[in-house]
Structure 1
Amino acid sequence: MGTAEIKARAISGFVGIGAIPLLALAGAISLLSIQADASDSAATTHIIGAGLCGGAILLLLRAFITLQPNESAVLTFLGKYSGTLSQDGFWLVNPFALRKRVTRRLVTQEIGPLKVNDAAGNPVEIGMVLTWRVAQASRAVFDVENYQAYVTAQGETALRSLASRHPYDEEEYRHALAERQADGPLRQEGAVLSLRDGGDRLTATLAADLRDRMELAGLIVQEARLSHLAYSPEIAATMLRKQAASAVIAARRTITSGAVAIVEQALNELEDRLGGVLDAERKAAMISNLLVVLVGDRDVTPVVNTGTLYS
């Protein structure tokens, strides 16, 4: 359950400021009274009184504490947790209590980049920017050894877990699954959430995982977003060439599909205007020429045939 946070007892520090002159005056009067009383016992009493006034002043000075906005002080007395002071201002607390200051301001921390294997087994580099703050100072101090190191460790763990559950690229992941299956066809259905295209859904998953982890230490995760994502250097060049080849193939497929539709439309319009059906050889020649013009990535040089198709 963790250490439950309780409110520390404190009074305004200005009360102590007002008491210091009175104690100093009482101590001075005790010292001046030593010369007036001739007896040794009276002198001893005055000296003890002056000493007590001086000790009280020192304790008051030790009891003062000033807190800035969004700052807390965790107090312990004789090894026991005595409360947390979270109200900013000038306060007077138990002078014998040990104090641990904890900031409650937002902290932006960059974690990574880390080298992790994604769901397809490819090594990737991934990093994130984590924004968090302390919500319960007592749990951050007593429930973990070092809450800042705890944030770093849990952030790296959550980042590695996310990367291992999702592929870098959906298409690459499907190809990897197909190669692993002995019978060939891919059995998995439905869309795969990839690291590259996950966007806000991955961010929400990562933030939810981190919130569960950080709650144990009294911390709140404000935001967690991926800041770095790339293939590991040893395979980056190969994967980029593969992605470029896939893009070229997809573009060629689109161009070819459009060219076939244009050729079909052109043949139909020619037959309608000529009022007859072209023979198979003429169709083949026309299709070949049109596809060269439409699919080729270079300008073509037309050749004018002055004879017949057969000579």
Structure 2
Amino acid sequence: MQESKAWAMNGFLGILVMVVLAGGGVYSLLQEQVIPGILLVVVAIVLVSGITIVQPNQSVVVLFLGKYMGSIREAGIFMTIPFTIRRTISLRVRNFNSKRLKVNDVEGNPVEIAAVIVFKVVDAAKAVFDVDQYEEFVEIQSETAIRHVATKYPYDTFEDVKLTLRGNAQEVSHELTTELQERLKVAGVEVIETRLTHLAYSTEIAQAMLQRQQASAIISARKQIVDGAVGMAQDAIKRLETDGVIDLDDERRVTMINNLLVSIVSENGSQPVVNTGSLYQ
């Protein structure tokens, strides 16, 4: 089904024609010309059934005896084919807020996810004839797409090697938009934007996953601190030896590196020990 333009004429001109016909019919009846008068009045009444009003950003789908005659998109009052069935479809931008869905991410962790879908109808004929109740179709397909995309990625990871639902919301939303557009084009619907509105671990594992996140964050931070401390200790020893300040053997070099690492890595402030020499020196 493809949307096409329906036949329609200016509604005010149509009303004028009907008034003229009705007036002519009444005049004929007064002149005792019964048959012409009745015919004119009947034609005027028939034309009344073709009057339709189209609001801005709406499309009126015209059906005549079960056949699609086209759509009227222009706003205003029109006269179209009499005795037609006319269905009004909104072309305005609308939002659909999905429910909080419980799904398992790619690692099998249960998460709660919800999204807002911004869409509009761009083909009224498809919305009416190719699907049954296009608004319900949008709702079901949106939730199906959200579930499918959520199962392709982990909720979170500290390895920074792949996309995650929490860390790459923009990329996930873009993929959701693309997939949803493929599902909804059959209904003549254009997906303008999708955004995640809720994302969290399910309540039954939320506390355990929070502890896991905290542990992973501590490990990641410790690793960065140790890497930095090793580099600082190496630079300090290298500069001291290059400048000729001290000449350390292997044992004293290990001792100094150990002291530097303890001083840098320790969470508490280190207490310096001042060596003033030996008693028997």
Does TM, normalized by the shorter one, top 0.5?
Answer: yes
Report whether the alignment pairs 1:292 with 2:262.
yes
Q: Any idea what SS the aligned residue of 1:300 has? A: coil
Cα distance in structure 2, aligned partners of 1:193 and 1:204: 13
Cα distance in structure 1, aligned partners of 2:176 and 2:9: 43
Aligned to 2:10: 12
Amino acid at match of 1:277: L
Q: How far has the Cα of 1:221 moved from its partner?
A: 1.8
Which consecutive unaligned segments of at least 5 residues does structure 1 have? 35-44, 175-190
Aligned to 1:183: none
Q: How far has the Cα of 1:137 moved from its partner?
A: 1.1
Report whether the alignment pairs 1:128 with 2:115.
yes
Q: How far has the Cα of 1:147 moved from its partner?
A: 0.3
* CA RMSD across the alignment: 2.9
Q: Any idea what SS the aligned residue of 1:84 has? A: strand
Cα distance in structure 2, aligned partners of 1:221 and 1:279: 68
Aligned to 1:258: 228
Amino acid at match of 1:33: Q
- Give identity over the alignment, percent: 42
Q: 1:215 aligns with which of 156, 169, 185?
A: 185
Report whether the alignment pairs 1:277 with 2:277.
no
Report whether the alignment pairs 1:21 with 2:19.
yes
Cα distance in structure 1, aligned partners of 2:279 and 2:111: 59
Q: How far has the Cα of 1:201 moved from its partner?
A: 3.5
Q: How far has the Cα of 1:242 moved from its partner?
A: 1.5
Structure 1 residues 64-103: aligned runs within 5 Å? 64-103=51-90
Cα distance in structure 2, aligned partners of 1:263 and 1:270: 11
User: TM-score scaled to structure 2, two decimals?
Assistant: 0.85
Amino acid at match of 1:75: V
Q: How far has the Cα of 1:49 moved from its partner?
A: 4.7
User: TM-score scaled to structure 1, two decimals?
Assistant: 0.78
Amino acid at match of 1:94: I
Q: Any idea what SS the aligned residue of 1:216 has? A: helix
Q: How far has the Cα of 1:250 moved from its partner?
A: 1.7
Q: 1:160 aligns with which of 122, 126, 147?
A: 147
Q: How far has the Cα of 1:300 moved from its partner?
A: 3.1
Change beyond 3 A, Cα 1:256–1:171: closer
Amino acid at match of 2:194: A
Indicate conservation of the 8 Å contact 2:11/2:79, yes or no.
yes
Structure 1 residues 27-66: aligned runs within 5 Å? 27-34=25-32, 46=34, 49-66=36-53
Q: How far has the Cα of 1:241 moved from its partner?
A: 2.1
Q: How far has the Cα of 1:164 moved from its partner?
A: 1.0
Deviations 1:117-157 (A, max 9, x none): 11111111222222222122111111111000000111111
Matched residue pairs, number?
280
Larger radius of gyration: 1
Q: How far has the Cα of 1:7 moved from its partner?
A: 2.4
Amino acid at match of 1:259: A
Q: 1:116 aligns with which of 92, 100, 103?
A: 103
Indicate conservation of the 8 Å contact 2:113/2:196, yes or no.
yes
Amino acid at match of 2:99: G
Indicate conservation of the 8 Å contact 2:111/2:201, yes or no.
yes
Indicate conservation of the 8 Å contact 2:158/2:217, yes or no.
no
Q: Any idea what SS the aligned residue of 1:227 has? A: strand
Instruction: Tell me whether 140-149 or 54-63 shows the greater mean CA deviation.
Output: 54-63
